[in-house]
Amino acid sequence: MSNSLFQPITLGNLILKNRIVMPPMTRSRASQPGDVANELMATYYAQRAGAGLIVSEGTQISPLGKGYAWTPGIYTPAQIAGWRKVTDAVHREGGVMFAQLWHVGRVTHPDNTGGAQPISASSVKAENVKVFVDNGTDAPGFVDVVAPREMTKADIQQVVAEYRQAALNAIEAGFDGIELHAANGYLINQFIDSESNHRTDEYGGSLENRLRFLDEVVGALVDAIGAERVGVRLAPFTTLNGTVDADPQTTYTAAAALLNRHKVIYLHIAEVDWDDAPDMPVAFKQAIRSQFDGVLIYAGRYFTPQDQAAKAEQAIASGLADMIGFGRPFVANPDLPVRLAQGFPVAAHDPDTLFGGGEKGLTDYPVYQATI
């Protein structure tokens, strides 16, 4: 294969060794009580430090931002200390790691939020959406989300402040930067998309208004830690967790232009990744490139067992992408960059061990050993 994936790239003040991203993947292994990152997670991420950039699993910025059982937070001293173990381990292996800051909005249940009603752009329930809970009494499992309450102006100001503090906490925890999770139907996405935002104030209605919350949050993050340490993830064409936009091409081209004005260091676009999903239109990718001057990361169906990373190589060679995220292949292949560089076989992961549990299915996947 050609070697565009293995060229170094500058990301703000960092020089990354390759263009391979380990994207955020929820694994639900945080220590309880307290949702604290731990030594097991440190081992997992350090094993995968061959990636040019690691983005942590979604990490809630507040108790109300938590959507799923056993996911880590970054708002208490214990959580900051737990993440420091992880970042130290990754840095010892020569890796670079950003923290993904997460508020799920309506995609949760009171069992995960200390009994509090979820909040969202509007009091609209996400239909046919379930979340993983541990209520301390029954066997953990998936339950339907509940109806949220519409956020007040005071709620909005508080959440913006929580994002800002979470970014400061991430730097204190040793992360090289942060990624704002504005994708996949979570809180910021609930403001952006037309069908989940029914507000009639300055945060709803027009496209400019629906992008206002994103604008304010990104502004707070950039003010707190600098644009060179802030990336943002968007999912323009997915309808995950019930968020739908009537005109995603227009909406997300405008979002890219907004993020460019803030000079954030990268834009990370999640593509639909199920097998028979339509490809993202090339014209849309060209529009994003024309509106955004920073590093563009795409993640989705960029690996196949037959062609390995050929599609990723092509995306970078075309100039439409600068880095590519490989999600599920990183689960079972801690040495994925080496395997891609050498053309070694890539192992399949065990789907039954993705969420919860211990080291099985997390840190026990071996590196490639050639048989003699």
Is 368 catalytic? The answer is: no
3-state secondary structure at position 361? coil
What is the DSSP track for 212-254?
HHHHHHHHHHHHHH-GGGEEEEE-SS--GGG---S-HHHHHHH
Using CA atoms in the order 32, 33, 38, 40, what is the torsion angle rounded to 10 degrees? Answer: -10
Interatomic CA distance for residues 242 and 240, integer angstroms: 5
Using CA atoms in the order 334, 339, 340, 342, what is the torsion angle rounded to 10 degrees? Answer: 160
Choose, from 68, 75, 163, 186, the residue flagged as catalytic: 186
Q: Name the E strands within the chain.
A: 9-11, 14-16, 20-22, 53-60, 97-102, 119-120, 130-133, 141-144, 149-150, 177-181, 230-234, 266-270, 295-299, 323-325
Q: Which of 137, 138, 120 is nearest to 129 (CA)?
A: 120
What is the DSSP track for 279-306?
PPPHHHHHHHHHH--SEEEEESS--BTT
Q: 338-347 long-range CB contacts below 8 Å, 24 or more apart?
A: 338/50, 338/367, 338/368, 339/368, 340/1, 340/5, 340/20, 340/308, 340/309, 341/3, 341/5, 341/6, 342/368, 343/1, 343/308, 344/368, 344/370, 345/305, 346/303, 346/305, 346/308
- Please answer whether residues 98 and 188 qualify as being in contact, where contact means their C-beta atoms are separated by less than 8 angstroms: no
Catalytic residues: 186
